[in-house]
Copies of this chain bind each other. A is one copy, B any other.
Amino acid sequence: MKNTLSSTFAGANREYVASLAKGLAVIRCFDHQHTEMTLSEVARLANLTRATARRFLHTLHQLGYMESDGKLYWLTPKVLDLGYSYLASQPLIERVQPYTKELCDAIGESCSVSVLDFPDVVYVARTLSHQIMSVSLNVGARLPAVTTSMGRVLLAARGDEEIDELLAKVSVERFTKHTLVEPAQIKGEIQMARKKGYAICNQELEIGLRSLAVPIRNRQGKAVAAINVSSQPLKVSESKLLKEILPQLREAARKISDAL
């Protein structure tokens, strides 16, 4: 196979700089299973020749993004600066933390803010309540949009046609017995979210986890992010969720909108 990052594939044109794509691929091949790697391992994972991987590792090292003992290479905290460029460039994200904190304290449940990057939602802020969830998601973590309350309220802002197109091109993973996998069912949930202004996702991602989300709108009324509350069905009833928690969630979303 030809390298998928070379200009023969991704952008067979003169406006595409293949070296940038390769360099980013080198950064991205590090993860929790690959915390430090040899040149050859990087080459294999990033689909580059060893010579090419070497040039990029050396470049990243000279730029301060990569550290090495001469044999193994690993990422430095400077890599966070790249993600920070995005966080800093979104005024919403910079200011949202106090509101999630306030909401979390008021209702005693974990609270998150995410944006849509189809087919995922991406967490941009979190405040955890007391109980430690089985998964602790960092800022930047992704979950499938169609299987989350936040994803559904964000998709609700799109037109029905666009929703059909988007749903057509994702394969939905069945996380639990409750997970909706039929496009028609999911579309129904999204339309319900549009009508009611909120979405509930009941144990579709994980048994024992129910989340409620509402959109955060900018000055133009566009849904730019979503805020949610995660709770346990056994601890918080659905009626309590809608009667007590939903108004507070809406209030938090409104406050954030006003601050934009």
Tally of contact residues, A, Cβ under 8 A: 69
| Residue pair B55, A117 in contact (C-beta under 8 Å) | no
Q: A99-142 vs B: 1/0 string, CB under 8 Å?
A: 00110010000000001010000101001101010001011110
Docked Cα-Cα span, A28 to B60, in Å, equals 14
| Residue pair B85, A105 in contact (C-beta under 8 Å) | no
Beta-carbon nearest neighbor of A105 in chain B = B130
Would A80 and B122 be within 8 Å (CB), given that A32-B94, A85-B27 are in contact? yes
Chain B residues with CB below 8 A from A132, complex form: 98, 101-102
**How many copies of this chain does one complex carry?**
2
Would A97 and B24 be within 8 Å (CB), given that A16-B55, A83-B140 are in contact? no
A90 interface residue (CB < 8 Å to B)? yes
Partner of A79, one of B59, B85, B97: B85
Chain B residues with CB below 8 A from A242, complex form: none
Q: A80-101 vs B: 1/0 string, CB under 8 Å?
A: 1111111111110111011001
Query: A61 to nearest B CB, angstroms?
Result: 9
| 3 tightest A-B CB contacts, nearest first | A83-B83, A20-B23, A19-B19
Instruction: Please name 19 pairs of A and B residues whose Cβ atoms are closer than 8 Å in the assembled complex, sorted by A.
Output: A11-B59, A16-B55, A16-B62, A17-B56, A20-B20, A20-B56, A20-B59, A21-B59, A27-B82, A28-B81, A30-B88, A31-B89, A32-B89, A34-B89, A35-B90, A36-B89, A80-B124, A84-B141, A138-B139
